[in-house]
């Protein structure tokens, strides 16, 4: 029997129209969309299906929207007997993995994602901080060149795959100076259109807020192990999973090591959710591991028919 590893994408994978064909083909997913509207107080279904892009891209819409589509696809996979032996998720996607592994129910999931998104949006004033993708430079060299900026702070935030690292930091000096240094030493630097320095110490207030907001929420042990972003090790115990969420927003996403760990225990990886960003990263991390993105009704049906 094939051992599947399910992975779930994070913010940046959103696309106007996402999930529309899924709901049309599998109307049993409608309660997920209805729960999103009830918990969030707005019609996330309409935002996902019709946009506009600027509205969907806002953190407080993008994060629950991506989760919603991932949850819908996972529901259909589960109904058809496709289950994972291990799971992981990139940043926001880690909450999708929590839900898929039975750590909390759908209403709790939307409540946590709502609190997380709002806390992250408030942590840094608009334009005060940001992120940049660093291409074509190894991690050791990046760490070396960021050393003068560690107190600014500017840090390696997403260790996505060999040759692709994302840094976070304060703008108006530190981040720009760090990018200039990296570029001078041969890296390709791409500023990212994000609203804050995610997965860095600048998210400390968001971490503190999230810890307080979720303290009374009920968590279950995970039904299958979840490889945590910040540690790249499996976890299933409910209290450890709960403690992880606030720390995750100030910690690096160690995606390369997480996927290396995942590949030790699975035969094939399935990316569940909009886009195919993670599939591209996984092919660079572990070229010999089969990876299949399921991001619409067509790819979902093809996977189910494969047997």
Long-range contacts from 77-80, C-beta under 8 angstroms, 24+ separation: 77/270, 77/272, 77/294, 77/300, 77/303, 77/304, 79/28, 80/304
- CA 161, distance to chain mean position in Å, is 15
Residue 197: closest CA among 174, 180, 177, 219: 174
Annotated catalytic residue, options 74, 199, 200, 207: 199
The one-character DSSP state at 14 is -
Q: Is the dihedral of CA 154, 171, 248, 257 positive or negative?
A: negative
For the beta sheet containing 164-170, the strands, ordered from the edge strand earlier in sequence to the opposite edge, are 154-161, 164-170, 129-135, 188-191
Catalytic residue among 13, 91, 168, 251: 91
Dihedral angle over CA of 16, 19, 21, 27, nearest 10: -140
- Assess contact for 129 and 135: CB atoms under 8 A: no
238 carries an active-site annotation? no
For the question of residue 91 being annotated catalytic, the response is yes
| Angle, in degrees to the nearest 10, between helices 204-213 and 238-248 | 150
Q: Taking a C-beta distance cutoff of 8 angstroms, is the pair 296, 22 a contact? A: yes
Contact 131, 157 (CB under 8 A): yes
Active site positions, annotated: 91, 199
């Amino acid at each position: 029997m094939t051992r599947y590893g399910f992975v779930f994408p994070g913010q940046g994978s959103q696309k106007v129209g996402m999930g529309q064909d899924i709901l049309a083909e599998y109307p049993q997913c409608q309660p997920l969309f209805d729960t999103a509207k009830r918990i969030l107080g707005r019609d996330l279904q309409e935002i996902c299906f019709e946009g506009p892009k600027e509205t969907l891209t806002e953190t407080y819409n993008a994060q629950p929207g991506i989760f919603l589509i991932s949850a819908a696809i996972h529901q259909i996979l589960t109904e058809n007997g496709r289950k994972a032996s291990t799971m992981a998720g990139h940043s926001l996607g880690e909450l999708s993995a929590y839900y898929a592994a039975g750590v909390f129910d759908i209403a709790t999931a939307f409540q946590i994602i709502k609190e997380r998104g709002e806390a992250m949006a408030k942590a840094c004033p608009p334009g005060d901080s940001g992120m940049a993708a660093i291409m074509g430079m190894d991690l050791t060299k990046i760490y070396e060149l960021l050393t003068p900026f560690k107190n600014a702070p500017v840090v390696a935030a997403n260790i996505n795959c060999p040759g692709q690292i994302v840094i976070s930091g304060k703008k108006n000096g530190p981040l720009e100076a760090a990018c200039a240094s990296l570029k001078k030493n041969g890296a390709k630097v791409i500023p990212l259109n994000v609203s804050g320095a995610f997965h860095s110490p600048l998210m400390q207030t968001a971490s503190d807020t999230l810890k307080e907001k979720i303290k009374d929420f009920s968590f279950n042990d995970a039904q299958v192990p979840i490889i945590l972003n910040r540690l790249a090790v499996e976890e299933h115990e409910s209290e450890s999973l709960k403690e992880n969420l606030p720390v995750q927003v100030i910690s690096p996403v160690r995606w390369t090591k997480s996927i290396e760990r995942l590949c030790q225990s699975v035969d094939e990886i399935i990316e569940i959710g909009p886009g195919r960003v993670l599939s591209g990263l996984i092919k660079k991390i572990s070229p010999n591991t089969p990876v299949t993105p399921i991001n619409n009704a067509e790819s979902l049906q093809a996977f189910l028919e494969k047997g």
